[in-house]
Each structure stands twice: as C-alpha cells, then as structure tokens.
Amino acid sequence: MDKARKKISRRAFVGWFISIGGSVILTSVFGLFYKIEELGQWLIRIVRGKVRHEFHTARDARKSFRAIRPWENPQMVINVSPNLDEGIRIIHWPHSKLFKCRYQVAEKNQQLLEIEDWRKALEEDKACFEKGKSGAILEQLALRELMVSGDDQLEFAGLDKGIEVLRRALSLKENKRSRRLVELIGRLISLTNEKNSDKAFQEFEDLRSTLKIPPVWVTKSNYTPWHTKTVERKHSRFRKKLQARILKVKEL
C-alpha cells in the first residue's frame, strides 16, 4: 500500500511538473508571439508615420508652389543664362493673358526683347522659342501681322506675312500635329485665293508636303465647301471670329 502511494505521489508530482512546465512554455510562446505582433505593429506605425510625413511635406510643398505668384511680363524675355548649352538662347513670353508661368528666369539672366524684334532674335542671335509654347507664341505673332478693315464685309491685309509666321511655326517638330495651326494657315491661304478654291487647295497641299505635316482632315472633296465658308463675306462666322482674335492680340 505504501509503495503504491509513493508511486502515485511520484506520478502526481511528475504530472504536476509537466503541466506547470508545459503551461510556462505555452505562456512564453504566446507571449513571444504577442511581442512579435506588438513589435510588428510598432514598426508599421513608424513606417506609416514616415509616409504621412513625406506626404504632408510634399503637399505643403505643392501648396507653397501654387502660392508663388506667376511670372508675368508683357514683353518677351531672352534667357541668357551661362548654364545653358553654348549658343542656346531661349525666348519666353510670360504674358499673363497667354500663359500662367509657374517658373521664373533669374532676373540677372533676363534680357528684355521688344515683340517687334523677335525675327531678329531668331535669325541673328540664334535664339529659339521655349519648347512647348512656341506654337501658341507664333500663332499670336501671326495674328499680329494681320489687319482688318470694314464693318459689314470684313477685309484682311497682311495675309502673306501671317502665313509666313505660321509656316515657321509648323516647321518645328512639336507643332506639326497642331490642328489649330494647320486650320488657321489653311484659312489664310483660302483668303488669299478667294475666287479659286482649286488653287488654294493645291497651295495648301504643297505647303503640307514641303513642311512634312502629317495627313489632316482637309481633303479634295471637302475643301471646296470649307473654302466657301471661309471666304464668304456676308454673315461669315469665320471672318468675325478672325476679327475678334486679331483685335484681342492687338491688345497684348
């Protein structure tokens, strides 16, 4: 009987020890996992905090960038910065009615240019208009060459000069797909050949071929009615629109 009790006591002790030990091990394991999970959440919070910080920093930078007053100057400006490649001089026209420039050339690198002298700057000073804005600038310069007269039947002068400026614009690679410029030069060609639509179309096609302008919507079949609407004198919507565009440019 005593031996049986001793065996039971030993077995009970061993069982108790194993239970306690197992509980401790399980508790440690669960605690370790909890610590790992807590550590992971802590790292996630740090990363999120950094991301938020970077996001807010970028947002604040954008706000301050928008808050900068746009660069405005009614005159053209040549960038003569020595940091540009040798021989390159870029012409800007930061007129508030044309562009909202979110940049500014340093004042020490600005050389004012009278609008009437832009040809001289391109040909003699080997300057070029700012890429991406050359089409819009040359369009305004072409319209400045035109003069309008009459009240009921509007007459236009300076068409050849306007066409020459638009040819210069379309000779630049970035403007060859500009539908606005192609349409305007086509309209001016029609106005120079009011009574002969075939001659106007041939001149337009020759110009397109010479300047290597991609095929456009104007074809032989639809050019005649398009030409008729362009040269119509009474109740001509195009003539009135062109007059409004010329007068608006003259105000710049």
**How far, CA to CA in Å, does 169 sit from each of 69, 132, 178?**
30, 11, 10
Looking at residue 94, its pLDDT comes to: 85
Looking at residue 126, its pLDDT comes to: 78
Q: How many CB atoms lie within 10 A of CB 94?
A: 21
Looking at residue 188, its pLDDT comes to: 92
Q: Is the pLDDT of residue 161 over 90?
A: yes
Looking at residue 131, its pLDDT comes to: 84
Looking at residue 164, its pLDDT comes to: 94
Looking at residue 145, its pLDDT comes to: 92
**How far, CA to CA in Å, does 242 sit from each of 157, 161, 188, 250?**
12, 15, 10, 12
Instruction: Name 141's Cβ contacts closer than 8 Å, sequence gap at least 6.
Output: 115, 118, 165
How far is Cα 179 from Cα 176, in angstroms, rounded to an integer?
8
Question: Of 45-54, 152-161, 180-189, 209-218, which range is least confident?
Answer: 45-54
Looking at residue 56, its pLDDT comes to: 57
Interval 63-116: pLDDT, tens: 554 445 667 778 888 888 876 776 678 888 888 888 776 677 888 888 888 888
pLDDT band (50, 70, 90) for residue 139: very high
Cα-Cα-Cα-Cα dihedral sign, residues 126, 132, 136, 142: positive
Q: Is the pLDDT of residue 191 over 60?
A: yes
The residue-averaged pLDDT of 5-12 equals 59
Highest mean pLDDT among 35-39, 72-76, 157-161, 239-243: 157-161
Looking at residue 122, its pLDDT comes to: 86
Beta carbons of 148 and 156 less than 8 angstroms apart: yes
User: Does residue 129 or residue 82 have the better pLDDT?
Assistant: 129
Q: Percentage of the chain surpassing pLDDT 90? A: 15
Q: Is the pLDDT of residue 174 over 50?
A: yes
Strands 155-157 and 147-149, sheet pairing: antiparallel
Looking at residue 103, its pLDDT comes to: 72
